[in-house]
Amino acid sequence: MLKRTKFIISGTTFLTLTILLGSCASQRPLNDFFGIRMNPADEAYFIIHGYSEHNGVYYESTSAMNPLIYAWAQLGTNDIRIKIINNSKQSIPSSYNQDNFMIMLSDGNTFVLSKGDPLDFPGDKTLFPNTSLELRLELPSDFWETIGMKDPQSYTADYMKKFWRGENKLNVIKENIQKIVVELGKKYTIVLKPVLKKH
C-alpha cells in the first residue's frame, strides 16, 4: 500500500477553525485521541508518530484513507467527548439508531459507549461538508454490580437502572485505550488512536 504522512494543525489554528465551522469552543482541547476515516481492516497502517501544540499531530496513513473526515477525542471522568470534522465534499448521515461508538482496550475488551437519551443526542442530522459535530458519550458502567441486583428480570430493574445510571463507571484509564471506533450511518468509520504528546 502507498503510504503518506500528514500534518493536521491543532492548537490556536484548530480552535479558530472550530469557531468558523459554527461549533462552540471547548473548555479543554480535545487532543487525547485522533483518527481519520478508513476501512477498519487497514487500521494497522494508521500510525500516529507525535503531537505538539505548535505543529499538531504527525501521522502515517495510506492513500485509501480519507484525512478530510477526521475526529479528535478527550477522555473525561465519566464520559468521552468526540469532535467529528467533515472537510470533505461528501455529506455524512448521522443518527441515534445507526451511529455506534466503541472503545477497545489493550487487554482485548471492547465496550460500547452509551449515547444517552435519544432526545438529547445531537447527531440526528446530516454532517454536511465543512461542518463539525461534537458528542459527549457516557463511559460504560457495570450496572448490575452497582445496584447489587443479581436478577436483571426483576420488575424494578428499569426503575433502578434509571435511578443508578452512571453511578459505577468502569475505571477506564486513558493509557489502556488502544483505539476508539466511530461508525456513522453504518457507512463511515473513523478509527482514533492515542496521541503521543511532546512536552
In which residue are the cell numbers 428499569 written? 158
Reported as a single tens digit per residue, the pLDDT across 43-55 is 999 999 988 888 8
What does pLDDT average to over the chain? 76
Reported as a single tens digit per residue, the pLDDT across 185-196 is 888 999 999 997
Task: Specify the CATH architecture of the domain 3-141+174-194.
Answer: Sandwich (2.60)
pLDDT for residue 25 is more than 50: no
Q: Rounded to 5 degrees, what are φ and ψ at 121? A: -75, 120
Assigned C-alpha cell, 103:
472503545
Percent of the chain predicted with pLDDT > 90: 41
Q: CA-CA distance, 127 to 84, in Å (whole number)? A: 9
Q: Taking the chain, what is the end-to-end CA distance rounded to the nearest angstrom?
A: 32
Residue 131 to residues 34, 88, 92, 103, 199, Cα–Cα distance (Å): 17, 9, 10, 24, 31
Q: Rounded to 5 degrees, what are φ and ψ at 32? A: -75, -35
Q: CA-CA distance, 70 to 63, in Å (whole number)? A: 15
Band of the pLDDT at 172, cuts 50, 70, 90?
confident
Q: What sign for the dihedral angle of Cα 130, 85, 66, 5?
A: positive
Average pLDDT on 60-75 reads 95
In which residue are the cell numbers 485509501 written? 64
User: Which of 20-24, 143-147, 178-182 has the weakest average pLDDT?
Assistant: 20-24
Positions of E strands within 39-127: 47-52, 56-62, 66-75, 79-86, 92-94, 100-105, 110-112, 125-127
Instruction: List the domain boundaries for the chain.
Output: 3-141+174-194
The model's pTM is 0.75
